[in-house]
């Protein structure tokens, strides 16, 4: 069996010793905060794009893409935005929706390729949020092939994801209900912040009660930028940051997730998803087609998407996989969407030489935020992905799992991630959330209404860092936020 940290998805040119030495120097921690570091403004290296004055900041192709490849990017964008329809239909290339689904297109959740949001009220359809669902796995019954890579099993009736929309004649699985409790957090300098503690309910269940051991995990669609660059970070560089036993005693013990690759039939390093539950952009894309839209592919061939054996009418409904495509989205379509997703450009940093931004960066380092939010990497040299090849990037993530404490815990494991662990989210582009998405909701479920609220939800391994932000002088706290808004 191949090792879990092999990288079969990449066509790698090995680094030379001289290159490794250069990389170590250019990714070394900041030694001074009097000026920006070299190349810091170019968050994605040569793939960085300029920031337009509108909501399209996350929808541009990589800055170093060729004219010919930009055509593939545009076609992939068309498939990403395409509205799927039910079967049978005269539009044979677009039928196969559902029968259960969360959205009719990728773009309906990743609006403008940015973040989704929780429902604003009882009449909001919450098209960019859903509940994952599963039950604990009986590990005594697991086969050797998947031992250790499957921490949960699908909920017997509702599968692994709950769909709040359906085709005519089929009940939707549920309605998402969120109730918030406001919590005051006193801050230094006589200031205060207010957090909203959510309670999630799967209401109006369409197929009977949930299993008594069902575990629900709310998920808001994340931003899409820079995925190909994150995919091209060497696994060895990510693993070098892991410290599962906290050997250095700093309280931070990042762990890699290891997940099963359905494409390569082997364990691989998890990189994508809020708990790093997918190893590649291609598998993440195909999984979203299956779970979110009910569209089959060669990776997830079930024509009925997420319908379970307890939903026979859903499984027996007309589907769109009996024409020349073979599956509802064929291999070429998945390739184009994957190419599009890999090449959504990362916008350039703003105000990198601003004095308050530099002070906020110093606070970010001094508070220990870089223990998880690793500032920079250099990607692999790649034979066939020039846009992602050998780029100095600044994503501010270590791509590892961290225990974030009971406040953020969803209590639902995913592969080797526990119910309180989350992958460190990349911070690049975070300051453009308002411009792109029209809101400033953060974290896995959008509960935080500002960057400060997101920080204050940190617990577990980040508790001391969170407390430092609470206690620091208000001017430093404001500088920290200004720095984050420059990313």
331 C-beta neighbours (distance < 10 Å), count: 13
Q: Closest Cα partner for 389 from 131, 46, 107, 94?
A: 46
Give 486's contacts (C-beta < 8 A, 6+ positions apart).
349, 350, 351, 352, 354, 357, 360, 431
Query: Taking the chain (487 residues) in consecutive chunks of 10 residues, what is each chunk's mean pLDDT?
Result: 82 96 95 96 98 97 97 97 91 89 94 90 69 84 48 91 95 94 97 97 96 96 97 97 93 94 95 97 97 96 94 92 78 97 98 98 98 98 97 98 97 93 98 96 97 98 98 98 98
CB 34 within 8 A of CB 17: no
Give 323's contacts (C-beta < 8 A, 6+ positions apart).
92
Q: Which residues pair with 134 in a beta bridge?
A: 215
> In sequence order, which ranges of 260-354 are alpha helices (DSSP H)?
281-288, 312-315, 331-342
CB 361 within 8 A of CB 33: yes
Give 336's contacts (C-beta < 8 A, 6+ positions apart).
72, 75, 76, 79
Q: Which residues pair with 414 in a beta bridge?
A: 417
The model carries a pTM of: 0.95
Give me the DSSP letters along 277-300: -BSSHHHHHHHHIIIII----SSS
Say what the pLDDT of residue 144 is: 44
Environment class of 431 (CB within 10 Å of its CB; exposed 0-12, middle 13-18, buried 19+): buried
> In sequence order, which ranges of 279-427 are alpha helices (DSSP H)?
281-288, 312-315, 331-342, 355-366
Angle at 111 between CA 96 and CA 219, to 5 degrees: 80
Pairing between β-strand 175-186 and β-strand 192-203 as defined by DSSP bridges: antiparallel
CB 119 within 8 A of CB 176: yes
Q: What is the C-alpha radius of gyration for the chain, rounded to an integer number of angstroms?
A: 22
Environment class of 185 (CB within 10 Å of its CB; exposed 0-12, middle 13-18, buried 19+): middle
Q: Which residues pair with 181 in a beta bridge?
A: 197
Give CA–CA dist 45/351, Å, rounded. 17
What six digits make up the tokens of 367? Answer: 């508070």
Q: Which residue shows structure tokens 């000026």?
A: 35
Give CA–CA dist 104/408, Å, rounded. 30
Give CA–CA dist 333/338, Å, rounded. 8
Environment class of 100 (CB within 10 Å of its CB; exposed 0-12, middle 13-18, buried 19+): buried
Backbone angles phi, psi at 213, to 5 degrees: -100, 15
Give CA–CA dist 317/169, Å, rounded. 10
Backbone angles phi, psi at 261, to 5 degrees: -90, 115
Say what the pLDDT of residue 141 is: 54
Give CA–CA dist 302/88, Å, rounded. 17
Q: Closest Cα partner for 165 from 157, 176, 155?
A: 176
Say what the pLDDT of residue 90 is: 81
What six digits make up the tokens of 8? Answer: 């079969």
């Amino acid at each position: 069996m191949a090792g879990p940290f092999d990288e079969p998805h990449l066509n790698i040119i090995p680094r030379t010793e001289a290159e490794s030495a250069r990389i170590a120097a250019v990714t070394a921690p900041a030694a001074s905060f009097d000026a920006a570091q070299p190349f810091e403004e170019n968050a994605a290296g040569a793939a960085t794009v300029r920031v337009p004055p509108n909501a399209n900041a996350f929808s541009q192709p990589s800055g170093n893409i060729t004219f010919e490849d930009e055509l593939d990017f545009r076609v992939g964008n068309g498939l990403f935005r395409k509205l799927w329809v039910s079967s049978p239909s005269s539009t044979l290339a677009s039928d196969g929706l559902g029968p259960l689904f969360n959205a009719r297109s990728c773009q309906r959740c990743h609006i403008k390729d940015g973040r989704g949001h929780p429902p604003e009220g009882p009449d909001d359809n919450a098209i960019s949020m859903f509940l994952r669902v599963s039950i604990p796995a009986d590990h005594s019954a697991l086969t050797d092939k998947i031992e250790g890579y499957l921490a949960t099993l699908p909920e017997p009736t509702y599968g692994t994801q709950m769909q709040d929309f359906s085709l005519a004649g089929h009940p939707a699985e549920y309605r998402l209900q969120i109730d918030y409790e406001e919590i005051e957090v006193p801050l230094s300098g006589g200031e205060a912040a207010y957090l909203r503690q959510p309670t999630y309910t799967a209401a109006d269940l369409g197929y009977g009660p949930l299993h008594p051991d069902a575990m629900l995990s709310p998920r808001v669609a994340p931003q899409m930028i820079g995925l190909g660059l994150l995919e091209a970070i060497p696994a060895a560089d990510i693993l070098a940051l892991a410290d599962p036993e906290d050997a250095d005693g700093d309280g931070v013990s990042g762990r890699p997730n290891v997940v099963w690759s359905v494409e390569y039939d082997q364990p691989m390093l998890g990189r994508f998803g809020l708990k790093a539950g997918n190893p590649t952009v291609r598998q993440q894309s195909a999984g979203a087609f299956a779970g979110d839209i009910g569209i089959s592919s060669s990776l997830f061939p079930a024509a009925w998407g997420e319908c379970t054996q307890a939903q026979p009418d859903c499984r027996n409904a007309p589907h769109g996989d009996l024409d020349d495509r073979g599956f509802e989205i064929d291999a070429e379509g998945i390739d184009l969407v994957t190419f599009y997703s890999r090449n959504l450009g990362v916008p350039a940093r703003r105000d990198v030489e601003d004095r308050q931004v530099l002070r906020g960066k110093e606070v970010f380092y001094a508070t220990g935020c870089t223990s998880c939010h690793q500032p920079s990497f250099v990607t692999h040299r790649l034979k066939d992905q020039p846009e992602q090849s050998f780029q100095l990037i600044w994503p501010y993530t270590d791509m590892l799992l961290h225990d974030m404490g009971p406040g953020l815990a969803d209590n639902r494991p995913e592969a080797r991630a526990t119910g309180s662990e989350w992958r460190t989210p990349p911070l690049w582009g975070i300051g453009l959330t308002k411009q792109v998405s029209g809101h400033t909701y953060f974290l896995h479920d959008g509960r935080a209404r500002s960057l400060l609220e997101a920080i204050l939800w940190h617990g577990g391994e980040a508790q001391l860092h969170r407390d430092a932000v609470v206690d620091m002088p208000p001017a430093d706290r404001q500088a920290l936020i200004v720095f984050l808004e420059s990313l």
